[in-house]
Amino acid sequence: MRVGIVQLCSTDDLEANLTHAENGVREAAARGAEFVALPENFAFMRREGARFPFAEAPAAGSPEIDPGTTEPESEAGITRALSRWARRDRLWLLGGSFPEAIPGDEKVYNTSVLFSPEGAEVARYRKIHLFDVSLGPDGADEYRESTFFAPGERVVVASTPFGGVGMSICYDLRFPELYRALVDGGARWLTVPSAFARETGKDHWEVLLRARAIESQAFVIAPAQCGHHSRDRASHGRSMIIDPWGLVRAQAGDDPCVLVAECREEAVDRVRGAIPALAHRRLS
């Protein structure tokens, strides 16, 4: 299967972001991609400390939303756009992440959604681990996602014709127990849409991604944000596609771009058969 990644430098301009994302999906499709992934916050990159001017309406039948609740009308139509692109280009499309409204709550979920080539929503994952850290030599560079986001609670593995897709977002990458749960749930592909900070990205990004691929013996698809989004916010870039042996099959640089790589599904079985580490586990 040919896998595509769209690396973006999103801002707080929703319309422009959607245009750039759509163009990237089109390019990946033209290059033969059957599965395309967008990065975290692809539709809207909030300035640090700013609130969201909108949030996408929750999905009908969402397991974390009361089914009796009246859904607010979506202001952005992000999921409608994703569905349309997937259907138009006949591909699997991961909408990296976007803010999803929580009825009756000022906070939002950071949500990743997978669409089928028919444009149907197949799976929805809400980021579990929130990035509350203090970076820089004096800890002055603070990130407090919990101020604006609520954590998700469900581990999500999407069922597809090419195997289970285990979903995660950015900071989740630092919690290997999540990926063990995804593999136990049948994941053969791991998606990690991200907006890694430059300070952590330069030392940790590739190391963590390759570690998750090696220990999970699964493909890792990691589309990332890059460049300066605003005066006070920048991302590391370096999107990657990594195989189950831990080899980097495609890697972006520091600028917006599209990557496409051939990922042979049988590689998962070959690696798991050669080194059956998952079957050899003694601790739970």
Question: Residue 118 catalytic?
Answer: no
Q: What is the pLDDT of residue 141?
A: 82
> pLDDT, tens digit, for every residue of 31-64?
999 999 999 999 998 766 556 666 677 766 554 4
- Point out the least confidently predicted range of 93-97, 139-143, 215-219: 139-143
Determine the Cα–Cα distance for residues 141 and 164; give it in Å rounded to an integer: 37
Catalytic residue among 9, 170, 226, 263: 170
Catalytic residue among 40, 56, 121, 145: 40
Q: Which two tokens stand for residue 74?
A: 């979506």
Q: Which H or E element spans position 180?
A: helix 176-184
In sequence order, what E strands does the chain have? Answer: 2-7, 35-37, 92-101, 108-115, 121-126, 132-135, 141-144, 157-158, 164-167, 187-191, 219-222, 226-230, 233-236, 240-242, 248-251, 257-262
Q: What is the pLDDT of residue 63?
A: 46
Using DSSP bridges, classify how beta strands 132-135 and 141-144 pair: parallel, antiparallel or unpaired.
antiparallel
Q: Which two tokens stand for residue 201?
A: 């990205």
DSSP state of 224: B
Q: What angle do CA 35, 41, 44 make, to 5 degrees?
A: 120
Q: What is the pLDDT of residue 88?
A: 98
Catalytic residue among 22, 34, 100, 127: 127
> pLDDT, tens digit, for every residue of 110-166?
999 999 999 999 999 999 999 999 988 877 788 899 999 999 999 999 999 999 999
Is a pLDDT exceeding 50 seen at residue 74? no
Question: Residue 73 catalytic?
Answer: no
> Residue 18 phi/psi, 5° resolution?
-65, -35
Q: What distance lies between CA 11 and its chain's CA centroid?
A: 17
Classify 115 as helix, strand or coil: strand
Edge-first strand order for the sheet with 257-262 is: 121-126, 108-115, 92-101, 35-37, 2-7, 257-262
User: What CATH class does 2-67+76-130+141-274 carry?
Assistant: alpha beta
Is a pLDDT exceeding 50 seen at residue 96? yes
Q: Is 39 within 8 Å of 7 (Cβ atoms)?
A: yes
Q: What is the pLDDT of residue 52?
A: 66
pTM of this structure:
0.92
Question: Residue 127 catalytic?
Answer: yes
